[in-house]
Structure 1
Amino acid sequence: MASNDCKTVQQCLSAYYDGELSAGQTAEVARHIEACDECAADLSSFESLSLDFAQTSLPAMPPQLWQKIESELEPVPVPESVTLLRRVADSIGPSPYVAGFVSMAASVLLLLGLGLWYGSEEPGAAIALHSHQGEHDVSHQHLAEFTGVMNDYLKKLHSEPDAAERMLLTRYNGERVDVDGAVRLVGYRPIVSDGLPEGYALASTSVLKMPCCTCVKAVCRRNDGSTLVLFEHDDQEAAWFGDRPSSMATCGDKDCCLIDLDHSIAATWKQGSRNVTAVGVRDQAEVATLVKWLEKKAGRAGVGIEGA
């Protein structure tokens, strides 16, 4: 620890006050406090807070409080927590301080439980918040891994396309499907279900449960045997390709993001309410061909790619 670093010292003040630092750290913090009025004032605030808490009288636990709490908590999903507090208090033995603390803690749990119970009347508010946080955590947790997997996939796709497809299917629980199977799994018809431009043939369609979303992957073969892969997904794939060079361009009538791959390019654009990512594209002209074809098919269908 640098003795002249206020930020570092302030992070240690609580542990310093509680006597939890090593002897060397304690000495460094003490020397810093002697020379720094700001950190000395922060330490003083810890001391004042502790003194105020020590002088606060805790309420006595009313008779038969536990029975009343348990009866009130029957419809609330927190009785186990309250019961655990009761057991802790019983194991410690009678004490006005313990009784007061447990009484306060039980009251907090009761209010929290009731808030969650009645708050759930709001349409999915707590569930939506938890779900959003979970998605955020998963995104950060798997981002680096997912980018690495896609990098390996791209390397294999040029020279070993079949091996690349097997790798991705295995990695993300891929399931080969027909149009009806895709609709069952993702709720919409794949963009390739109405055919491909001249010079392309559909080799396979599958559904992948990728970290970002569940997406439809279509493997297409050109007349010369080379491979082009179309991903249809809900999210924007900005992080799929890591820090590879990218640029924006107009392809057909769509704004596309073009990513420079080792032997080809990738392109992504908005198609209806979802996004399409084409991997293994030769050039911007080929992207424009694909964009125009999909727009034409969507126009004929009259419902875009949303139609099932």
Structure 2
Amino acid sequence: MIHAAQTFGLILVELLVLFSLISVLVALANRRFGPDRIESWMADGHLPGPVKGLLLGAITPFCSCSTLPVLAGMLKSGVAFRTSMTFLISSPLLDPIIVAGVVLLFGWRIALVYTAVTAAWSLLAPVVWERLGMASQIKRVKVVGDDRTSRPWAGLRHEIRPALGEAWSDLRPLLVPMVLGVSVGACIYGLVPQDQLVAVAGDDKPWAVPLAAILGVPLYVRIETMLPIGLALSSAGMGLGAVFALMIGGAGASIPEVSMLTAMFKPRLVVTFVVTVIGTAIAAGYLIPLIA
């Protein structure tokens, strides 16, 4: 029990410091450029649109559900299908908080493989979707989103204070899930017998990765919350591939998100999206242990 409490305190402090610093940087970037300018940037320039969608997804710390109002705005603004879908897949999986958290908890090699797999899948999947005719599966309906507008940049000295406020607003809803996630992780690490987890999802179980990927989808969790739980599961004996399959499945798609997507997508595209997330989770689950 003492060991579990020590693990809880250490991981919680590390994650709070990390999330706070990166949230401030992201808030400053959002205040500097604004959503209108970002949409314009995605439509113009020399970079391919999907690469822009990937980069936008990588710098926006959105969970799967909060990605959807932005996606709706992109589609209404005429952003290309591939670009929009790349953003949809990458946003909940590749933001800097997640990547930094994977580095912190699992090491840079695993973080590198995680980033490479999710980025490649985010770019390739929309190409396949488009060739399958999925661009015609977008519903022409209005989805209510954020009313944020671009603000004039007043200089770093004047912007840092409101950026801190925005960062706190972004971090505050995560505090309870973060504490709960770290608590569950610490309890698993300190109390759950290792042999029970190994028996179900150890490295030698061929079904562990696809089973974890499928079971992750019904969970509605931000991957930041799953990181400490994933570390605890891995430390307690669960296969590393199954851990990441569970985290990606849970963060990339969820029941609330899928239900919201039915207002924007026709059934074929909804099913294709879920299958793609599960495929990403399985691919990462098999590749990460090979490199790690």
- Larger Rg over CA atoms: 1
Bigger RCO (CA 8 Å, 6+ sep): 2
Structures share fold, TM-score greater than 0.5: no
Measured against the shorter chain, the TM-score band is under 0.3
TM-score norm. by structure 1 comes to: 0.25
